[in-house]
Chains A and B, each alone.
Chain A
């Protein structure tokens, strides 16, 4: 059953990605609504899979890389659906669903097994800390997608190449707005994730902060986004600069999430 849901999610995300990519280059509005429904269906199946895992493991399925990648993918799609509903920006799906699909596909590389949890980590903080962190990550992924779209659209406008994709992409101001809004959600979530992590660390390991690689890199990520938000609010870093920083921030965040686990060793290296 779990396998069916898992591969079902993968398959539907694959179809959704194809539909969104086709929507990006083909001027057919029907493709957009088809893609939206496919991805929504994928989200439901994915949520069902996550729930099934939850009941099977008896805890939030977020303790090994397989589960984390899948959960990250789930939050990205969920946050995207909310943004699409609120800001009517379905073309964002062409840039965000491929990421969700890639993360899902990457999760196949890691064992699906359910491992016993280190007793020290058994705590409600597990849910709070990780879910909040992933919601923050998902918002940064939206900012990343909007940033890429901004750079593409800006290039079209500067070079005066006004083709089908230019028509499809929203205005620069709107993309900049999405970038900003996703940060205003993502940044507080990341802040809360770091604080809750520190509190949890104190109860589990007896110290708030131990400069574990994950902690260090989370802090670096936090500084990148803090700088971006600060620049935006004070000196008006908007448009191109904001887009580039949101893209850079995404890669730093990705390293915090994946690189640290795969390349560095520390308290957070679950595999």
Chain B
């Protein structure tokens, strides 16, 4: 049995192609059922996000399976296969396993390390499980992919750092305050970056927002949007001590907050820390403010530097993640190959036992004066002979399951003893797990 992957992503197709091929999450039953109805496609999962559409399936016939899934994608979305084909990639065998492990670990994402993709694949798997289009192999495969993604996330720092200025600000705040739920953000002035950062802080659970602006109406409008309160610009220093995180981006030509102003503010705050983020150019906040005890000042350039460093770190961590993926591929591939082993062993034993029992019956039918004790002994003796004969091929097969030549032995045994094996049963596989 082979795992194949067919799909397209932000790397091979622009958004206007991707949106045409996307599957609606509200209607997954139909395409999944259609997929497993295709001849020789036994299991299938559809992953459809805004950045990728991929189908994972199992088949005996790699080339045919891939071609049929491509045809399905084109037909289902009423596109011509010729135009679609140039955007599609396909993988099988080890490459397919590697691909899915990398996707789940967010190594193939537009922003490497972004955490959403894992959830999206879990959702996709949920549909496949619900509509019974995935079976023993894809179930195991996807669970393995989830555990690889988890390993990557815990053993590398690929997703541990912010890659946007707004998130970098939130992360810094967490390193100062720990808990943001009782903290207040103050916006001085307005601006896209400022508002975006304020939104991030709100999403990360700050208690409240204060907004001040030279034009009070504007402050009021923003305050309403954020569910906060507007403050007159002239009253800034009457309210500043109530703010823990200050986002400033006024158009003022000179600094509006200096270290002297903060002496009184810090006294009123009983020295509780303050985090200033100065987004304005020219600066709103005197750089000397950073020297005030328990006050931390970051400019937008500082935050940008943090983001750049984080991106570099992600690239370095991605290398470690690839190593983890490599290790896990080997393990999973071993399991996949061993899938064929257990049914073969079971069939071989069944065949031998069938012959033994038939011959034993014939013998006993003509051997009238044999005592029941003697019958028992004869049965045991033939069983022992059979087990002794079967022992070397059985253990060889089990060992081969950990090496690479397993297909060779499985095929040879099937041909030599005219074995017929069906699909593996879940119960057969337990002893060969891991």
A239 to chain B: closest residue by CB: B294
Interface residues in A141-162 (C-beta closer than 8 Å to B): 153, 157-158, 160, 162
Which of B94-102, B170-178, B225-233 touches A?
B170-178
Q: Does A171 contact B (CB under 8 A)?
A: yes
Do A239 and B293 touch across chains, with their CB atoms under 8 A apart?
A: yes
Evaluate contact between A173 and B178: CB separation under 8 angstroms: yes
Q: Are A236 and B271 in contact (CB under 8 A)?
A: yes
Q: What residues of B have a CB within 8 angstroms of the CB of A160 in the complex?
A: 298, 302, 305-306
Q: A160-B305, A162-B306, A167-B160 are in contact. Are A239 and B175 (CB under 8 A)?
A: no
13 of the cross-chain contacts (CB-CB < 8 Å) are A30-B155, A153-B175, A158-B290, A158-B296, A171-B174, A171-B175, A172-B176, A172-B178, A173-B177, A239-B273, A240-B293, A241-B271, A241-B293
Q: Which of the residues B155, B290, B305 comes within 8 Å of A29, measured between beta carbons?
A: B155
Interface check A238, CB cutoff 8 A: yes
Contact of A173 among B176, B270, B305 (CB under 8 A): B176
Most buried by B among A177, A239, A240: A239
Chain A minimum-CB-distance residue to B160 = A167
Q: CA of A178 to CA of B272 in the docked complex: distance in angstroms?
A: 16
4 more A-B contacts (CB under 8 A) besides A167-B160, A239-B271, A241-B293? A27-B157, A30-B155, A177-B178, A239-B293
Query: For residue A239, which residues in chain B have a CB less than 8 angstroms away from its CB?
Result: 271, 273, 293-294
A173 surroundings in chain B (CB, below 8 A): 176-179, 273
Q: Which residues of A have CB within 8 Å of B172?
A: 157
Within 8 A of A (CB), among B121-157: 154-155, 157
Whether A209 is near chain B, meaning CB under 8 Å from some CB there, is no
Residue of B with least CB distance to A237: B271
Asked if B255 is an interface residue, CB under 8 A from chain A, the answer is no
Contact with B along A229-246 (1 / 0, CB 8 A): 000000111111100000
A170 at the interface (CB under 8 A from B): yes
Closest to A171 in B: B178
Q: In the assembled complex, which residues on chain B have CB atoms less than 8 Å from the CB atom of A171? A: 174-178
Say yes or no for A174: interface residue by CB 8 A criterion: yes
A166 at the interface (CB under 8 A from B): yes
- 4 tightest A-B contacts by CB? A236-B270, A171-B178, A173-B178, A236-B271
Among the listed A29, A172, A235, A238, which residue makes an inter-chain contact with B175, where contact means beta carbons less than 8 Å apart?
Answer: A172
B273–A172 CB distance below 8 A? yes
Q: Known contacts A29-B155, A236-B271, A239-B271: does B178 contact A170 (CB below 8 Å)?
A: yes
Mark contacts of A25-36 with chain B using CB atoms, 8 A cut-off: 1 yes-contact digit, 0 otherwise.
001111000000
Asked whether any CB of chain A lies closer than 8 Å to the CB of B390, the reply is: no
A173, B309: Cα distance in complex, Å: 25
A153: chain B residues within 8 A (beta carbon) = 175
Minimum CB distance partner of B266 in chain A: A236
Tell me whether A157 and B157 are in contact (CB under 8 A). no
Residues of B within 8 A of A28 (CB): 155
State A167–B161 Cα separation when bound (angstroms).
Answer: 9
CA distance A173 to B244 in the complex (A): 12
Q: How far is the CB of B56 from chain A (nearest CB, A)?
A: 30
Q: Which residues of A contact B155 (CB under 8 A)?
A: 28-30
Chain B min CB distance to A86 (Å): 15
What is the bound-complex CA distance between A238 and B273, given in angstroms? 9
Which residues 267-281 of B have a CB within 8 angstroms of A?
269-273
Contact status A157-B271, CB under 8 Å? no
Chain B contacts with A in 257-308, Cβ cutoff 8 A: 269-273, 290, 293-294, 296, 298, 302, 305-306
